[in-house]
């Protein structure tokens, strides 16, 4: 069956959409006919038709609420939220400062909560919406010098399942995605050596941000009759083979 997604007239908010998987998704959603509104502290390195950028730190609740309110003023709707903004400090537990721990939680967990709070009233009023939260295999597997990141992703799995139960009656779906190991700025920063790349190449393969776009478009689409679920990409399986 051919994969075809039609986002004509729809509006997607993508946190962390200036780079990596979020940027590929923002472009893919726009190419499918919709408008992507990226909330990110960084600017994307290239413009793309149908992709707007709002400078926002997702840990700032007021700023997130204001950015989504602006989106609704401009476009009149929000159909989807993909909450991908995250940081991944590489530091041992013993050396994790209060500042590093709290910043990781503030961006990776609080930032998702604020984004959900910002989009939900509109989705609930419309009786329709899809939220996708990024987890990580590290939530289950763990990794040395990645405890804060892994714990933040574990928290998001529980959060998404609970939110899914809360809003199911409003026809708003909340799912989690494990994107697999994907070659992005975050992956490169967290895996700086050739040895680490070789390890992931052997164990899971390394995918591209574009490989995750259609699984995300599926979760955003009405075809995804699932909520409180997890879509797991255990191994890289390139779109272009």
Q: Is 140 a catalytic residue?
A: no
| Shortest separation between residue 125's beta carbon and ligand NAD, angstroms | 26
CA distance 91 to 189: 12
Residue 134 near residue 177, CB atoms below 8 Å: yes
One of 5, 134, 149, 178 is an active-site residue; which one? 149
- Residue indicated by tokens 């809003």: 167
HSE of 105, CA atoms in CB hemisphere, 13 A: 11
Print the binding letters for residues 13-42 with ligand NAD: x by CB under 6 A, - otherwise.
--xx-xxxxx-----------------xxx
| Shortest separation between residue 53's beta carbon and ligand NAD, angstroms | 10
CB atoms within 10 A of CB 185: 12
Residue 219 binds ligand NAD, judged by CB under 6 A: no
Print the binding letters for residues 44-83 with ligand NAD: x by CB under 6 A, - otherwise.
------------xxxx------------------------
Give the SS3 label for residue 81.
Answer: strand
- Residues in the interface with ligand NAD (CB under 6 A) total 28
Q: What is the largest CA-CA distance in the chain?
A: 51
CA distance 218 to 229: 13
Q: Which residues bind ligand NAD (CB under 6 A)?
A: 15-16, 18-22, 40-42, 56-59, 84-87, 107, 134, 136, 179, 181-182, 184-187
Active site residues: 149
């Amino acid at each position: 069956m051919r994969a075809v997604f039609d986002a004509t007239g729809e509006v997607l908010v993508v946190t962390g959409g200036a780079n990596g998987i979020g940027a590929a998704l923002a472009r893919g959603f726009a190419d499918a006919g919709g408008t992507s509104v990226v909330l990110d502290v960084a600017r994307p390195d290239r413009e793309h038709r149908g992709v707007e950028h709002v400078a926002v730190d997702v840990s700032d609740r007021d700023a997130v609420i204001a950015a989504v309110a602006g989106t609704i003023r401009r476009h009149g709707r929000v159909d989807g939220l993909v909450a991908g903004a995250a940081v991944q400090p590489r530091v041992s537990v013993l050396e994790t400062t209060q500042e590093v721990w709290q910043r990781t939680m503030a961006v990776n967990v609080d930032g998702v909560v604020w984004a959900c709070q910002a989009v939900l009233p509109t989705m609930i009023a419309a009786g329709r919406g899809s939220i996708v939260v990024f987890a990580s295999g590290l939530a289950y597997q763990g990794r040395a010098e990645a405890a804060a990141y892994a714990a933040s992703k574990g928290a998001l799995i529980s959060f998404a399942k609970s939110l899914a139960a809360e809003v199911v009656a409003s026809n708003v779906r909340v799912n989690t995605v494990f994107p697999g190991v994907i070659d992005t700025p975050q992956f490169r920063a967290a895996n700086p050596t050739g040895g680490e790349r070789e390890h992931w190449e052997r164990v899971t393969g390394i995918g591209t941000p574009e490989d995750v776009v259609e699984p995300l478009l599926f979760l955003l689409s009405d075809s995804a009759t699932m909520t409180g679920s997890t879509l797991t990409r255990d191994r890289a399986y390139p779109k272009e083979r």
